Amino acid sequence: MKINIYYGGRGLMDDPTLFVINKIKEVLEELRVTVEQFQLYELKNSITTLPQTLKNADGAILATTVEWYGIGGYMQQFLDSCWLYGDKEKISQIYMMPIVMSTTYGERDGKLNLTTAWEILGGLPCEGICGYIADTAILEDNEEYIRIIEKKAENLYRTINQKMACLPTSNQAVKQKIAITKNINFTPQESEQLSQYVSDDTYVQRQKADIQELVSMFRDMMGSSEKEDTTEFLKEIREHFKPQPGIAGDYKLLIEEKKTPLIIGVNGGNFQCFYGEGGHVDVEMQLSRDVLRNIVSGKSTFQASFMAGDMKMKGDFKVLRALDQVLQFGAGPME
């Protein structure tokens, strides 16, 4: 048997919920139950991945502390993730015991909230523990309170071991109606896989880049029969080159409507401009054909376009400014 404990408090040393959890773990481990505890405050950046940890669990303990109002944000976020990414079929087979200790007011409401949420998820609720404990020492020094906690742990073990039936509730009926509101039609396995990556910014950015690459590839495959114009802008750029001593740099222009980049190389009086794949460049720019047309017609400059947000660039900004000095289309370099 395996039971997972999800603790939604802040991990304070005098948190009475932690004392209750530890006592329950002692009883369950004596009964040879495998217990795994998840501290949500330590896993706050990966809470969305935690529903997959339920797949091998026979039971779950949702434990939190009411410090001022409600069950707390970490526990609510975990329950939200169970609703969005959890395997509902697996959850429907898991018994859950709520533990809510309060240092202020609202332990009964918190326990009811956890029970209701688990029922709406389709799970099986068990009798839980709730209480108002202003000082953890009250629990530690009271044998009767400790005995109550131990009995609750034993009851949880019996309930799971004997697979006791639960009467149906209206909350489960609500689940059957609202679960279809925004269903993305993922299988439980697909939802589980999605939950592994949903909070990974690096993964999301990589996927966006892959999608952009696929869009470009299919656009090339489905593109029009006409060949890409590899002479556009070359004449205007070459005619307006004004060599300046001491200025050197290599530039790559990624024009959104073209698959081949425009390469510009400057080294004193030496100048080259062509469509192709160059080597290392000092500045890489990404812009549309219209933005480049405005630049070569003298309505703007490379620097002004970047400052206005019409163009993206990577590289040395000083080298970018130098390009406006050697390519004088009429607007002149921006001071």
Among 180, 196, 212, identify where a domain stops.
196
Tell me if 226 is assigned to some domain: no
Query: How many domains does the chain divide into?
Result: 2
The per-residue pLDDT of the chain, averaged, comes to 86
Q: What percent of the chain has pLDDT over 70?
A: 85
Give the confidence band of 189 by pLDDT, cuts at 50, 70, 90.
low
Last residue of a domain, one of 175, 196, 217: 196
Do 158 and 265 lie in one domain? The reply is no
Question: In this structure, is residue 269 part of a structural domain?
Answer: yes
Taking residues 238-249, report their average pLDDT: 90
On the question of pLDDT at 174 being above 90, the answer is no
Task: Specify whether the CB–CB gap between 19 and 138 falls below 8 A.
Answer: no
In a domain, 107, yes or no: yes
Domain annotation covers residue 217: no
Residues 22 and 130 grouped into a single domain: yes
Question: Hunting for tokens 């609703």 — which residue is that?
Answer: 83
Poorest-confidence range of 67-81, 125-139, 210-224, 290-304? 210-224
Q: Is residue 331 part of a domain?
A: no
Name the pairing type of β-strands 262-267 and 124-125: unpaired
311 pLDDT exceeds 70? yes
Residue 145 and residue 21 share a domain: yes
Confidence label for 184 from pLDDT (cuts 50, 70 and 90): low
Q: Look up residue 195 and give its amino acid.
A: S
pLDDT value of position 13: 87
> Closest by alpha carbon to 264, among 237, 239, 288, 240?
237
Same domain, 181 and 273: no
The pLDDT value recorded for residue 183 is: 47
The dihedrals phi and psi of 241, each to the nearest 5 degrees, come to -75, 125
The answer to whether residues 89 and 140 belong to one domain is yes
Residues 237-250: what's their mean pLDDT?
91
Contacts (Cβ under 8 Å, ≥6 apart) of 330? 297, 298
CATH code for position 123: 3.40.50.360
pLDDT for 292 beyond 60: yes
Q: Does the residue 207 lie in any domain?
A: no
| 181, 260: one domain | no
Predicted confidence at residue 198, as pLDDT, reads: 58
Look at residue 144 and tell me whether its pLDDT is greater than 80: yes
pLDDT given for residue 186 in this prediction: 57
| Alpha carbon distance 333, 140 (integer Å) | 76
Q: Are residues 17 and 153 in the same domain?
A: yes
Q: Supply the pLDDT for residue 169.
A: 74
For residues 97 and 152, the answer to whether their CB atoms sit within 8 Å is yes
Looking at residue 132, its pLDDT comes to 94
The conformational region for residue 299 under phi > 0 = left, psi -120 to 50 = alpha, else beta, is alpha
Which has the minimum average pLDDT: 21-25, 60-64, 90-94, 217-221?
A: 217-221
Domain coverage including residue 277? 234-326
* Interatomic CA distance for residues 228 and 219, integer angstroms: 12
Both 53 and 120 in one domain: the answer is yes
* Mean pLDDT score, 144-173: 88
Q: In terms of Cα–Cα distance, which of 303, 292, 299 is closest to 262? A: 292
70 and 166: one domain?
Answer: yes
CA angle at 281 for the pair 279 and 283, rounded to the nearest 5°: 155
Inter-residue contact 39 to 74 (CB < 8 Å): no
Q: Domain check: are 8 and 156 in the same one?
A: yes
Alpha-carbon gap, residue 185 to 174, rounded angstroms: 19
Of 150, 179, 196, the residue that ends a domain is 196
In a domain, 227, yes or no: no
Residue 92 belongs to some domain of the structure: yes
171, 40: one domain: yes
**Predicted local distance difference test score (pLDDT) of residue 181:** 42
Q: Looking at the predicted structure, is the pLDDT value of residue 98 above 90?
A: yes
- The C-alpha angle 109, 115, 118, rounded to 5 degrees, equals 140
Residue 4 has pLDDT above 50, yes or no: yes
Look at 190 and 2; give whichever has higher pLDDT: 2
What average pLDDT score do residues 30-36 get?
A: 95
pLDDT of residue 109: 94
pLDDT at position 193 is 59
Q: What is the pLDDT averaged over residues 59-78?
A: 94
The pLDDT confidence band at residue 259, using thresholds 50, 70 and 90, is: confident
Q: 115 and 49, same structural domain?
A: yes
- The pLDDT, as a whole number, for residue 194 is 62
In the predicted structure, residue 333 carries a pLDDT above the cut 50: no
Give the CATH number of the domain where residue 322 resides.
3.30.1050.10
